[in-house]
Amino acid sequence: MSRTPDTWILTAQSPSRLGTVDVVTRYLFEQGCYVTQHHSFDDREAQRFFIRVEFQVPSDFNEGLFRVGLDLRFTPFDMTFELTPPGYRAKVAIMVSKADHCLNDLLYRQRIGQLPMDVVAVISNHPDLEPLAAWHGIPYHHFPLDPQDKPAQEARVWQVLQETGAELVILARYMQVLSPELCRRLDGWAINIHHSLLPGFKGARPYHQAYAKGVKLVGATAHYINNDLDEGPIIAQGVESVDHAHYAEDLVARGRDIECLTLARAVGYHLERRVFLNAGRTVVL
């Protein structure tokens, strides 16, 4: 769904209580705001309520006073909120290794305005993709990985993230396992992409392993990272049917396409404030 250029986004969550939808929509009405999109979900098992609203504001809108009013109305519901203005573009850092398909796709979607973000850095443990970043005018940071001193390399990565003010980190086929410490620091604001094959083929050349078993589905999963390898809260998944006529190289090609599309979808959801973390899973509105 495309966002109207002049809309604000209000996202909020709280314990499940009577009146949660009303307190949000009534306040917007009283402030003269026109709702253009509204999505909400109440998790009956977690007893948790989530809401996302896009709205247009009147000519005399005052953000500071609006926020004060939200605090006053939402506090009795233990409701936390985030307010995003029109035209906001997040600062994003992308981490890569040698594969270029996801990076190229993300930079293209940024260039045409499909993803509201500004890529402030490309970080890699290999030099291969520096020309692609340079063509887009984006700083490229090559930090080779010394297996005997991984913390030193990750310290340089973290320094770039801090200096650039990155608000989102995208692991666009970054083929290194992050340390528990860096995973902890990036919890909730780093998205990874990897193949999804059934059964799960681990190790080298997973699509070739899948071909040898005659798989009938190939797919990809985009998720927030955590310290459990490829098991963070899932944001988006993609899948496509294949058959006996698809050779190993065909599966690889299909996998690249699905990875690009699934990662772009997950990044878009995050940038548009559609994703809520809900314990070990996500709510996507």
Domain limits, the chain: 8-84, 90-284
pTM: 0.94
pLDDT (tens digit, 9 = 90+) per residue, 81-114? 999 999 999 999 999 999 999 999 999 999 999 9
Distance, in Å, from the CA atom of 169 to the CA atom of 25, rounded to the nearest integer, reads 33
DSSP reduced 3-state for 172: coil
DSSP state of 94: E
CATH 3.30.70.260 for domain 8-84, yes or no, is yes
Predicted local distance difference test score (pLDDT) of residue 163 = 97
122: nearest Cα among 143, 101, 138, 110: 138
CATH class of the domain whose range is 90-284: alpha beta
DSSP reduced 3-state for 116: coil
Residue 1: pLDDT over 60 = no
**CB within 8 Å of 212: residues ≥ 6 apart:** none
Distance, in Å, from the CA atom of 101 to the CA atom of 235, rounded to the nearest integer, reads 20
The residues annotated as belonging to the active site are 230
Chain Cα centroid distance, residue 35 = 25
Distance, in Å, from the CA atom of 64 to the CA atom of 69, rounded to the nearest integer, reads 9
Predicted local distance difference test score (pLDDT) of residue 2 = 60
* Tokens 């009956």 belong to residue: 44
Distance, in Å, from the CA atom of 185 to the CA atom of 159, rounded to the nearest integer, reads 12
